[in-house]
Amino acid sequence: MKVLVGIPTLSTNDRYYNYLVGCKKCLSEAMKGVDYEIFVSESSPLPEWAGFVACENGIVDKFVKGNYDYLFHIELDVEVPADSFQKLLALDVDIACGYVRRHSGDGLILGFMDENKRVWYLPENAV
């Protein structure tokens, strides 16, 4: 089993980039015993959401073109629990998703963007 761990970043000077060291440290624990590669997306010159989508697409492109069995997608500012990958893998489904609390504490980072580019988050009591 080969896993690509994809981490999107808009640039090396965005407000989240300094989280990368901590993110990688947590991943080293979560991925113990797993053959994995960490791929941090290249910066995008595109503005805001367009840049974010370009970074996400770069990760998916690497996954599709590579010889990987799983894509473990992590945001820069998330410190994944040590058992996170194994728990998701154990679900034995095609797509699994974890969630984290928003920095503001007013919901979960598990949501969607509507056609007006408004992001909707699940309330904490939704799970």
Going from N- to C-terminal start, the domains of the chain cover 2-96, 100-127
Provide the 3-class DSSP secondary structure of residue 121.
strand
Beta-strand pair 119-122/35-40: unpaired
| Residue 10 contacts residue 77 (beta carbons within 8 Å) | no
Q: From first to last of the 127 residues of the chain, give the pLDDT tens digit.
A: 999 999 988 666 666 777 888 888 989 999 999 999 999 998 888 887 788 888 889 999 999 999 999 999 998 877 788 998 999 999 998 888 877 766 666 656 666 667 776 666 666 665 5
pLDDT, position 63: 96
Calculate ∠ Cα 6-51-48, nearest 5°. Answer: 125
Q: Please provide the DSSP assignment of 56-112 as one string.
A: HHHHHHHHHHTT-SEEEE--TT----TTHHHHHHHT-SS------B-TTSSSEEEEE
| Residue 102 contacts residue 85 (beta carbons within 8 Å) | no
* pTM of the shown model: 0.79
